[in-house]
Structure 1
Amino acid sequence: MSIRMPGATLRRSLGRLLLVLAMASLAAAGHAQSFQSPAPFAILLDSESGAVLYEKAADELMVPASMAKLATVLVAFQDMAAGRLTPDSEIGISENAWRKGGAPSGGSTMFAIVNSRLKLSDILQGIIVQSGNDASIALAEAIAGDEATFGRVMTERVRALGLTKSVFRNATGMPDPQQRVTARELALLADHIIKTYPELYKIFGQRDFTWNKIRQQNRNPLLTMDIGADGLKTGNIDESGYGLVGSAVQNGQRLIVVVNGLKTARDRASEARKLLEWGFRAFERRQLFAAGENVGEASVYGGEKGRVALRSKGAISLLMPRGSSERLTARIVYRGPLLVPVEEGAQVARLVVTRGDIKTLDVPLYAAEAVRTGSLQSRALDALLEAATGWVRKALSRS
């Protein structure tokens, strides 16, 4: 166990969890990553556990193309949840939206008529099903006044979700030198949309949409593959290559896949499908901790108790490669010791499981009980202990 001063990260090995993982005989580095994708950027994520089953350059910045429309849609979904918009809210199609994103543009469009007014419910179908640039620009103008301002709103909204790298500059995914995302953050954004807006998410599984008497098929090739796919979004411009954010459910398990940088639409569809099918086939779920079960403890400074039990909000499970033999590493990570008062239910730590350099599980942990300020004597003892451990750390750092 290593102990750090407040403000540093404290990592404690979980003896029981390590035993569980050792008995499970994992070899994720050898087995799980034995799958190789030609996609320059890729990630495969298990929605329930957050486990990363496969990744390749998942944290490197890349051009999103129309996959950026996931953030466009997120803003609309959030505004609807907040009551600022309704499905019947009217969105005007300006000349700018029509020229840049409509029929004259030659790009993906829902063929909205200039100066017409559409219900938001139709605009969302135009964006999600038809990848309409005209619909995306019109939505941006309705919410933020202009597309540049809306790009800043998009970035702010994903920052609030903890996505720290992605930057959006427009609502369409059209080329912009500053508009960049990562595969991991696209997967996390998709997961958030799926879990937070389940009714609105159903639009992503819609096979076609007709507007202005023009019927267009959903551009997501996974929807026709009979693999349980129900979303999300494709993208392609010269700077990005062919990309896709997809999700599928089999036997109650949801996987989310992101690929980008492929040479053809066929390659995009093939690689996304291969990753999903491999993920469903190659892993099995193991429960590590039941809901309400203590996962470990965290040190407390100045409290009536010196430690507080930690729990997750639900059961903790992990996807494990079938027939493998290498152990994973598990840690409880927090900034500590924790300072009193510690409120019951406060998030104070995380359970992190890694496979080599790959983080396969990252689960928030919460205080199982409240810890109030301790007696003067207990606080004095804590101060002496903290001072002593500080001296030890300094001596070790100089050796």
Structure 2
Amino acid sequence: MRLRSLLFVALATAGLAFAQTPVPAPAAKPAALSDNLPIPDAPAPATSKAWLVMDYATGEVLAGENVDAAVDPASITKVMTSYVIAAEMAAGKVKPTDQVMMSENAWRSGGAGTDGSYSGFEVNQAAPLVEMEKGMVVQSGNDAAIALAEHVAGSEAAFAQLMNAYAKKIGMTRSHFVNPHGLTAEGHVTTARDLAILGRALIRDFPEAYSYNKIKELTVGPITQPNRNLLLWRDPSVDGIKTGHTSAAGYCLMASAKRGEQRLVTVVMGNTSENQRAVDSQALLNWGFRFYESHKLYEAGKPLAQPKVWKGEANQVAVGVSVPLLVSTPRGKYDRLKASMDLPKSLEAPIAKGQKLGMVKVALDGKIVASAPLVALQAVEEGGFFKRLWHSLLMWWQSV
């Protein structure tokens, strides 16, 4: 709230009319000794092929290396599988109570007789979809992933087409999936950035499906297996998300934690051991929470300004942002943000609701750190003939 008052004050001094009177800025507090010190480098994993720290609220990569390099996703692939299942469920195409068969193909390709992780569901037996999905998520069951793919799309190949379609839809521009489990296959690739985008999308779009990732252990029949994400036991703020390992991919971990209102997502790919991927991920989370903070600057649909409109039934139009405007800043520098609005000097009716009219930009120390289109929050129809004529004369008079 304090920042919003400061932003309103800054914008008001630029001559913009606001929907509410800005609160006077409070007296500046003395600068802390650390305010002007640079943020130390992130604790880069020594052996990883790629890694990053992403702010969940904004999607901004706070630090990383090789974030767009092609990597083998291993079992982190199953996060994509979870996303597809949740999306298909939301569309009404499958239900959590569906009986999913552990086919012989799924059992032979990904069951206990293979070298990979398995769920323990019996061959040629069915289980509710939600339980089969937990077997895939918690125990990283390759067999469960295959069974789910067959149930949702008929075959692994058809399911992979859904995976790629949804990946494109959520902004994963450098990924291509050929199977639902992540065992090494030609053409099955992603990037650290794309995986973070995927994790962020699952948390945002399907929180119930995401919640399965914090289950610490699962029992299927006589077999109890633990979640391989060691951070679930080491850091109470960690509530997901997925591990992966193959000889080609190395040890991988996408983790997410929430402390207070702030959430971060980390990705560590190609590490040397199960413990090291957890140690490196923990260090990145601690660094991100220590040195960065995220804030919501403006709510969607709330008026930020009411510029004058010519030739309309109404003489003003409320403008604001269509989605919340969020920002990531170095911790302690929130109050140094400055906002400005770029709106045309003259607006004429008709104006459609949602029409882009300008931009709002937020800067920190002269650098733009967030921006969003300013849109009309309601429609303004054309005024009557005489009002349009009168406004035309006034506009001409002001221009000479």
TM-score by length of 1: 0.74
The alignment status of 1:72 with 2:73, answered yes or no, reads: no
Counterparts in 2 of 1:276 and 1:340: CA distance versus 1, 3 Å: farther
Q: Would you say the 8 A contact 1:329–1:353 is kept in 2?
A: yes
User: 1:87-126 counterparts in 2 under 5 A?
Assistant: 87-126=96-135
Deviation at 1:341, TM superposition (A): 7.3
User: 1:84-163 counterparts in 2 under 5 A?
Assistant: 84-163=93-172
- Count of residues in Structure 1 that have an aligned counterpart in Structure 2: 360
Matched residue SS, 2:113: helix
The alignment status of 1:42 with 2:51, answered yes or no, reads: yes
Letter paired with 2:180: A
Distance 1:29 1:174 in 2: 47
Distance 1:203 1:137 in 2: 18
Counterparts in 2 of 1:104 and 1:260: CA distance versus 1, 3 Å: same
Unmatched 5+ stretches in structure 1: 1-14, 382-399
Deviation at 1:294, TM superposition (A): 5.7
Matched residue SS, 2:352: coil
Distance 2:61 2:291 in 1: 13
Q: Would you say the 8 A contact 2:298–2:326 is kept in 1?
A: yes
Counterparts in 2 of 1:355 and 1:323: CA distance versus 1, 3 Å: closer
Q: Would you say the 8 A contact 1:31–1:321 is kept in 2?
A: no
For CA contacts below 8 A with separation 6 or more, give which structure has more relative contact order. 1
Q: Would you say the 8 A contact 1:248–1:254 is kept in 2?
A: yes
Q: Would you say the 8 A contact 1:102–1:111 is kept in 2?
A: yes
Q: Would you say the 8 A contact 2:43–2:284 is kept in 1?
A: no
Q: Would you say the 8 A contact 1:50–1:360 is kept in 2?
A: no
Q: Would you say the 8 A contact 1:65–1:175 is kept in 2?
A: yes
**Aligned residue number for residue 269 of structure 2:** 260
Deviation at 1:324, TM superposition (A): 7.0
Distance 2:152 2:94 in 1: 9
**Aligned residue number for residue 273 of structure 1:** 282
The alignment status of 1:311 with 2:320, answered yes or no, reads: yes
Matched residue SS, 1:100: helix
Distance 1:339 1:172 in 2: 56
Counterparts in 2 of 1:347 and 1:261: CA distance versus 1, 3 Å: farther
Deviation at 1:243, TM superposition (A): 1.2
Letter paired with 2:120: F
**Aligned residue number for residue 61 of structure 1:** 70
Of residues 168, 173, 177, the one that matches 2:177 is 168
Of residues 200, 218, 222, the one that matches 1:209 is 218
Select the structure of larger CA radius of gyration: 2
Deviation at 1:163, TM superposition (A): 2.3
Deviation at 1:55, TM superposition (A): 2.5
Matched residue SS, 2:97: coil
Distance 1:342 1:165 in 2: 39
Distance 1:316 1:269 in 2: 32
Counterparts in 2 of 1:41 and 1:339: CA distance versus 1, 3 Å: farther
Distance 1:28 1:140 in 2: 52
Distance 2:151 2:173 in 1: 26
Q: Would you say the 8 A contact 1:233–1:245 is kept in 2?
A: yes
**Aligned residue number for residue 31 of structure 1:** 38
Distance 1:311 1:133 in 2: 47
The alignment status of 1:222 with 2:231, answered yes or no, reads: yes
Distance 2:324 2:194 in 1: 24
Distance 2:278 2:91 in 1: 36
The alignment status of 1:180 with 2:158, answered yes or no, reads: no
Q: Would you say the 8 A contact 2:83–2:206 is kept in 1?
A: no
Deviation at 1:73, TM superposition (A): 0.7
TM-score by length of 2: 0.74
Identical-pair percentage: 35
Unmatched 5+ stretches in structure 2: 1-9, 15-24, 393-400
Distance 2:198 2:11 in 1: 33
Deviation at 1:45, TM superposition (A): 2.0
Deviation at 1:266, TM superposition (A): 1.7
Q: Would you say the 8 A contact 1:32–1:53 is kept in 2?
A: no
